[in-house]
């Protein structure tokens, strides 16, 4: 790569930074200034690093030259992917400033400049990016998807892109990170900035959250019922008892739970409910616990009679 081409690449990177930083200074209104360099123009200026022969060129080099060339290809492609991503957002009518995209791309641009000038190392950038990834990751949840589809998807894209970018910058600290591996990561970086990539991430998060929620559910003992247990008269009898539970005073409900907790038929459920957050010492908690115990007492095994006896006992004058 000749000095002239490098100057072109450096100029392109600096121009990109200027464009993006300029965007950051603009008022928070919809729209953006006319870019100094379009994605196509930037792509044309970095063409030597975008062709299919970069791997061959890379393999023809060795030592520091090879590593430097790898970095140049990576930065050039990141710059083009970012420019396309910004154009994509502009097409969506999304204000890139809202997502801090300008800042990200500026960091990349400055890093490109540092490679050219041999200045700042990427370590400082990594630390900043790591914080940014931490800040944005986890802020996207599936519920918001329904209310603010595009902003949520774009937020997810930005978070995913930062994560992939941070990973690439980390790998670039070693010479063992080959250009072929980097090209694969760049594919991932590009995909992260797409609707498909964002949807994939959100779906994966939703699945993880569901698994966590499932794991948190405490499974109470299974109750086996005969057909006669769900006959209308039985259901009516339990509904009557539920009504009586609702009519208990606070102290009566608390006393009833206290008694039930001592019986083998109900002690495990009371204990599990407490572990799940129920408070048997409060009026609301005690009443809910009694209803929970009633749902344990559907079978004609004497548990309903036991619970009825407790309610009779605490409500007797």
Partner 1 sequence: MAGDAGVLPLKKVWVVDGAAAEADVQAQAQQVRDLGWQSVTVFPPSAETRQSWVIVGEGFAVG
By the criterion CB under 8 A, which residues form the site for partner 1? 213, 216-227, 229-232, 235, 238-239, 242, 272-273, 276-279, 281-285, 288, 291-292, 294-296, 298
To which residue do tokens 């616990």 refer? Answer: 289
Cα of 33 vs its chain's centroid, Å: 32
Shortest Å distance, C-beta 283 to partner 1:
7
Alpha-carbon distances of 106 from 21, 65, 86, 300, rounded to whole Å: 7, 26, 12, 72
Listing DSSP states for 138-180 in one string gives T---HHHHHHSHHHHHHHHHHHHHHHHHHHHHHHTTSTTS-HH
Smaller CB separation from partner 1, 31 or 232: 232
Residue (148 or 267) nearer to partner 1, CB: 267
Least distance CB 215 / partner 1 (angstroms): 10
Question: With respect to partner 1, which residue has the nearer C-beta, 227 or 316?
Answer: 227
CA gap 154, 195 in Å, rounded: 8
Question: C-beta of 208: minimal distance to partner 1 in Å?
Answer: 17
Q: CB of residue 289 vs partner 1: minimum separation in angstroms?
A: 8
**Greatest Cα-to-Cα distance within the chain, rounded to the nearest angstrom:** 100
Quote the CA–CA distance of 218 and 239 in Å, as a whole number: 25
The closest of 58, 74, 67, 301 to 167, measured between CA atoms, is: 74
CA–CA distance, 290 with 304 (Å, rounded to integer): 12
Whichever of 72 and 303 has its CB closer to partner 1, that residue is 303
Nearer to partner 1 by Cβ, of 221 and 305: the residue is: 221
Is 139 or 209 the residue whose CB approaches partner 1 more closely?
209
Q: How far is the CB of 260 from partner 1 (least distance, A)?
A: 15
Q: How far is the CB of 308 from partner 1 (least distance, A)?
A: 15
Q: Is the alpha carbon torsion for 74, 78, 81, 83 positive or negative?
A: negative
* Burial of 92 per CB tally in 10 Å (0-12, 13-18, 19+): middle
We find the least distance from the C-beta atom of residue 269 to partner 1, in angstroms, to be: 9
Residues comprising the chain, all counted: 317
Given the complex with partner 1, which of 134 and 223 has the nearer CB atom? Answer: 223
Residue for token digits 């079978």? 299
């Amino acid at each position: 790569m000749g000095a002239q081409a490098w100057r072109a690449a450096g100029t392109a990177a600096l121009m990109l930074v200027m464009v993006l930083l300029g965007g950051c200074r603009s008022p928070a209104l919809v729209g953006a200034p006319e870019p100094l360099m379009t994605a196509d123009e930037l792509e044309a200026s970095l063409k030597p690093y975008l062709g299919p022969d970069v791997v061959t060129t890379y393999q023809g080099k060795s030592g520091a030259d090879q590593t430097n060339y790898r970095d140049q290809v990576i930065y050039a492609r990141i710059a083009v992917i970012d420019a396309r991503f910004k154009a994509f957002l502009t097409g969506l009518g999304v204000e890139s400033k809202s997502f801090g995209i300008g800042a990200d791309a500026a960091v990349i641009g400055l890093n490109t400049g540092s490679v050219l000038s041999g200045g700042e190392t990427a370590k400082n950038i990594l630390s900043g990016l790591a914080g940014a990834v931490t800040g944005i990751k986890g802020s996207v949840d599936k519920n918001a998807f329904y209310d603010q589809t595009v902003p949520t998807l774009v937020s997810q894209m930005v978070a995913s892109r930062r994560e992939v970018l941070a990973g690439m910058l980390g790998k670039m600290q070693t010479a063992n990170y080959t250009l072929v591996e980097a090209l694969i990561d760049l594919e991932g970086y590009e995909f992260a900035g797409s609707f498909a990539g964002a949807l994939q991430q959100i779906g994966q998060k939703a699945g993880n959250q569901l698994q966590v929620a499932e794991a948190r559910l405490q499974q109470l003992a299974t109750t086996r019922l005969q057909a006669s247990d769900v006959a209308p008269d039985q259901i009516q009898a339990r509904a009557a008892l539920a009504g009586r539970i609702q009519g208990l005073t606070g102290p009566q409900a608390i006393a009833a739970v206290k008694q039930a907790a001592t019986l083998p038929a109900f002690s495990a459920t009371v204990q599990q409910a407490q572990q799940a957050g129920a408070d048997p010492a409060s009026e609301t908690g005690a009443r809910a616990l009694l209803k929970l115990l009633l749902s344990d007492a559907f079978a004609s095994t004497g548990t309903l009679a036991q619970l009825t006896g407790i309610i009779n006992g605490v409500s007797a004058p």
